[in-house]
Amino acid sequence: MTQPRPLVAGNWKMNGEQASWKEAESLAGLLAAETAVRAEVMLCPPATLITSFGHQLEGSKLMVGGQDCHGELSGAHTGDISAEMLADAGASAVIVGHSERRTDHGETSEAVRIKAEAAHRAGLVAIICVGETETERKQGDTLNVICEQLSGSLPQNAKAGNTVIAYEPVWAIGTGLTPTLDDVGEVHRHIRAELTGKLGEDEASGMRILYGGSVKPDNAADLMAVADVNGALVGGASLKADDFWGIVSVYSEK
Ligand code: PGA
């Protein structure tokens, strides 16, 4: 079976100003010069930068994504941004259900599913995040939690072409800790099996399942080599073009 094309997406979170363009520019330059990279590469900067990045990166191989969207098309939702607005600004994808949104903003899996559906409505790829807390892992609940989050967050008609799953153990985000390769493999295998049950073999086998949580240039090759890992969602190490490139180049054909 052919493997889906990997995706390496950088989540800048609440970091980045206009001057950060130089990091995106270097990355786009590296990507343009390096034809052997077989992964898709994306940056998800804060919303304030999407329009300028979107314009400046037009025609480049570096894609732009949002970090969150509202479920509705428009209306009285102060501070929110619709998926259509992200698309209009030049985004081709949006992260939904990141654990920081689930925790800081009380987003339920149902809310995440509505956002993923909005992303699809706007023609964006939805990058749906799932992941267990440290307590849930210690209690042996990891697979149940992932299964529940996936069932609640995944739109019924999700397709390989419009949906990406990101497995991000909450305790591994920004901590420098990562699960063992066996643990990553177990969760990704489980997610693939769940997707197969829900969407059928064709869509499930083509859907990218990213690993996220303390991915760095020095551990990326091992993590990306695990079966059913089709790329990475990277936080801290995506802020500097050189670090991010160290992860992206794991997928260099040379
Ligand atoms: P990290 O963040 O790479 O800094 O651990 C990952 C994420 O939150 O997407």
Ligand 1 atom nearest 216 alpha carbon:
3
Measured distance CA(6)–CA(233) in Å, rounded: 11
Confidence of residue 34 (pLDDT cuts 50, 70, 90): confident
Amino acid at 208: R
173 phi and psi angles, rounded to 5 deg: -75, 120
Is the CB of 232 within 6 Å of ligand 1?
A: no
What is the domain partition of the chain in residue ranges? Answer: 80-254
* CATH number listed for the domain at residues 80-254: 3.20.20.70
> Among 40, 70, 84, 98, which one carries the catalytic annotation?
98
225 sits in the region (left: phi over 0; alpha: psi -120 to 50; else beta) called alpha
pLDDT tens, position by position, 117-127: 999 999 999 99
Measured distance CA(210)–CA(225) in Å, rounded: 12
Confidence of residue 247 (pLDDT cuts 50, 70, 90): very high
Measured distance CA(191)–CA(22) in Å, rounded: 37
> Among 168, 188, 194, 203, which one carries the catalytic annotation?
168
The residue whose C-alpha atom lies closest to atom 2 belonging to ligand 1 is 235
Ligand 1 atom nearest 172 alpha carbon:
5
pLDDT at res. 166:
98
CB of 208 closer than 8 Å to CB of 161: no
Confidence of residue 253 (pLDDT cuts 50, 70, 90): confident
pLDDT at res. 254:
65
Instruction: Give 75 Cα–ligand 1 centroid separation in angstroms.
Output: 31
- What one-character DSSP code corresponds to residue 75? S
Known catalytic membership, residue 98: yes
- What one-character DSSP code corresponds to residue 240? S
Handedness of CA 84, 124, 128, 114 (dihedral sign): positive
pLDDT tens, position by position, 51-102: 999 999 999 999 999 999 999 999 999 999 999 999 999 999 999 999 999 9
pLDDT at res. 1:
58
Measured distance CA(78)–CA(121) in Å, rounded: 21
- What one-character DSSP code corresponds to residue 171? G
47 phi and psi angles, rounded to 5 deg: -55, -30
Instruction: Give 217 Cα–ligand 1 centroid separation in angstroms.
Output: 13
Known catalytic membership, residue 55: no
Instruction: Give 169 Cα–ligand 1 centroid separation in angstroms.
Output: 10
Instruction: Give 137 Cα–ligand 1 centroid separation in angstroms.
Output: 18
pLDDT tens, position by position, 140-167: 999 999 999 999 999 999 999 999 999 9
